[in-house]
Amino acid sequence: QGMRWHLMREIEERGAEAVVDDAIAEALDGAEAIYLSLDIDVLDPGMAPGTGTPEPGGMLTREVLRAVRRIVGSVELAAMDIVEVSPPYDHAEVTAMAAHRAALECISALAVKKRGGHPVRFEDAAGARPAEAGAAPVSV
């Protein structure tokens, strides 16, 4: 099987959402589930300096997080990994924070999908939602 990739130039010209939609369609062609591998060096080095292969002109963290949510919400996910995070190259730990957030977005999207697209609302032991107890609701 061949592997298709999309260049940053295509994302700049067509927009990240259109390219992500194409990537989803390509990944699902003949597949029941996908394995999502996020190579952190897709992010611009200003967003993720802690990688072995920094690529100036890369994506913004918010674009990648949106893509992760969109992919996980659209497909049957077999597994996910995040690669190329190298903490010794990033003393401020922003790369690790971006990787952690991507993993959290994946887990959150799975939870929302499991609830039929409805946000997860946390309840206290009595079954009351935080807003009912006078606090702001927390949703994932």
Per-residue pLDDT tens listing for the chain (140 residues): 577 889 999 999 999 999 999 999 999 888 899 999 999 999 999 999 999 999 899 999 999 999 999 999 999 999 999 999 999 999 999 999 999 999 999 999 999 888 887 665 556 556 665 554 444 444 43
Sign, CA dihedral 110-111-114-119, equals negative
pTM (2 decimals)? 0.80
The helix (H) or strand (E) run that includes residue 18 is helix 16-28
Res 4: pLDDT: 82
How many C-beta atoms surround the C-beta of residue 67 within 10 A? 23
Classify domain 8-133 at the CATH superfamily level: Ureohydrolase domain (3.40.800.10)
Res 3: pLDDT: 77
Res 128: pLDDT: 60
- Kindly list the domain boundaries of the chain, sorted by start residue: 8-133
Res 15: pLDDT: 96
Question: Which residue is listed with tokens 């401020």?
Answer: 92
Residue 7: CA count within 13 A, CB half-sphere: 3
Q: Which residues contact 28 (CB under 8 A, 6 or more apart)?
A: 34, 75
What is the rounded distance in angstroms from the CA atom of residue 69 to the CA atom of residue 107? 9
Res 118: pLDDT: 65
75: three-class secondary structure by DSSP: coil
